[in-house]
Structure 1
Amino acid sequence: MTTTSIGAASAAAGTTTGRLRGLVAEIRAAVDRGLPPEPTARLVGERLAPHLGAPDLLTPAQCEGDPEHYRQHVLHAEPDGGFSVVAIVWLPGQGTPVHDHVAWCVAGVHQGEEHERRYQLVPDGTSARLLATQDVVNGPGEVAAFAPPGDIHSVRNAGDRTALSLHVYGADITRLGTSVRRLYRLPADR
Structure 2
Amino acid sequence: MTAIITATPALTDVTTAVRAALRNAADWDEAARAVADGLRPVLPGPELLTPEQRLGDPDGPTGHVLHAEPDGSFSVTAVIWRPGQTTRIHDHITWCVVGVLQGVEHEELFDEHLNRIGAGDNRPGEVNGFAPPGDIHRIVNTGTETAISLHIYGTDLTRVGSSARRYYEPAHAEK
Report TM bin, short chain.
over 0.9
Q: Tell whether 2:57 aligns with 1:66.
A: yes
How many residues are aligned here? 174
Which whole-Å CA distance do the structure 2 matches of 1:135 and 1:55 have between them? 24
Q: TM-score, normalised by structure 2?
A: 0.92
What secondary structure is seen at the aligned counterpart in 2 of 1:130?
A: coil
Task: Give the Cα separation in 2 of the matches to 1:115 and 1:55.
Answer: 18
Q: Report the equivalent of 1:126.
A: none
Structure 1 counterpart of 2:125, from 110, 116, 141: 141
Which residue pairs with 1:179 in the alignment?
163
Q: Aligned AA for 1:96? A: T
Larger radius of gyration: 1
Provide the secondary structure at the position in 1 that maps to 2:79.
strand
Q: Alpha-carbon deviation of 1:29?
A: 1.6
Distance 1:18 1:56 in 2: 12
Structure 2 unaligned segments of length 5 or more: list them.
none
Classify the secondary structure of the residue corresponding to 2:111: strand
Alignment of structure 1 residues 78-93 onto 2, 5 Å: 78-93=69-84
Q: In structure 2, do the counterparts of structure 1 residues 22 and 61 end up closer, same or farther at CA, with 3 Å as the change threshold?
A: farther
Q: Show the counterpart of 1:52.
A: 43
Correspondent of 1:95 among 86, 103, 107: 86
Residues 1-190 of structure 1 correspond to what in structure 2 (within 5 A)?
9-12=1-4, 14-52=5-43, 54=45, 57-121=48-112, 129-186=113-170, 187-188=172-173
Q: C-alpha root-mean-square deviation of aligned residues, in Å? A: 1.7
Map Cα deviations across residues 83-129 of structure 1 (whole Å, 9 max, x no partner): 010000000111100000000001110011000000001xxxxxxx3
Provide the C-alpha distance between the structure 2 equivalents of 1:16 and 1:62, rounded to a whole number of angstroms: 15
Distance 1:114 1:99 in 2: 16
Aligned equivalents of 2:71, 2:39: Cα separation in 1: 20
Q: Secondary structure at the match of 2:26?
A: coil
Q: Distance in 1 between matches of 2:143 and 2:45?
A: 21
Q: How many percent identity over aligned positions?
A: 49
* Greater Cα offset, 52-61 or 86-95: 52-61
Contact 2:45 2:102 survives alignment (8 Å) = no
Structure 1: 5+ residue runs without aligned partners? 1-8, 122-128
Aligned CA distance change for structure 1 residues 163 and 56 (closer, same or farther; 3 Å): closer
Deviates more, 1:160-169 or 1:24-33: 24-33
